[in-house]
Amino acid sequence: MQSGAPFSILAGMRQRKPTIVIDTREQRPLEFTLPTSVSKLDFGDYSIAGLESRVAVERKSLDDLFGSFTRTRVRMDERLQELGELAAAAIVVEATALDVARGSKRTAVNGHSLLGSISTRCAQLGVAFVLAGDRYGSAAFIEAFLLAFHRQARSQKRASLRNDSAFGDRKSRVYSGG
């Protein structure tokens, strides 16, 4: 009877849709097909309920991107370091590569240089850098990314529960004299 317990826990996990958590400081939250809740996040603008310390997505508009990597570069580098320490993280930009390359009206920073600098830094830290095109593309990618991480975490938990159950069964046979 004991070995079936993990599978009943998993049955409940299968039925629940993950909830996307939106940071309270997000000024223009995206819309998703999955359920959402609003809460203060330590990392990024979006995460999954229950996994906030393991996965995060930072969303940027084109102007935010240029501002973050020019005027507030030190703060952005700290944020990238934090994201790099998570199991999964992404920076999602509401622009195309061509948009970034063309630059921003608000700064004289060369867009090609910025694109190269951001790509290099994200690659060094293991943070995905996604140019999603617009808000809709950003929402679609963020939802897919968070859902994929949720499924992976669920799969790992399932495997862990099976291993614990199998060990528990062997342990009970050994110690019960059976």
Q: Summarize pLDDT for 30-42 with one digit per residue, the tens.
A: 999 999 999 999 9
pLDDT above 90 coverage of the chain, percent: 61
Indicate whether 166 belongs to any domain: no
Given this model, what pLDDT does residue 107 score? 79
Indicate whether 152 belongs to any domain: no
Query: pLDDT higher for 91 or 9?
Result: 91
Measuring CA to CA, which residue among 5, 6, 8, 46 is closest to residue 25? 46
Q: Tens of pLDDT along 143-152? A: 999 999 999 9
Show the beta-strand stretches assigned E in 75-117.
88-93
Indicate whether 24 belongs to any domain: yes
Number of domains the chain is built from: 1
DSSP state of 51: -
The CATH number of the domain holding residue 102 is 3.40.50.10130
Indicate whether 156 belongs to any domain: no
Indicate whether 56 belongs to any domain: yes
What is the extent of the structural domain holding 99? 17-146
Indicate whether 120 belongs to any domain: yes
Indicate whether 3 belongs to any domain: no
What's this model's pTM, rounded to 2 decimal places?
0.79
Using CA atoms, how far apart are residues 90 and 125, in angstroms rounded to an integer? 11
Indicate whether 162 belongs to any domain: no
CB 94 within 8 A of CB 59: yes
Q: Tens of pLDDT along 43-67? A: 999 999 999 999 999 999 999 898 8
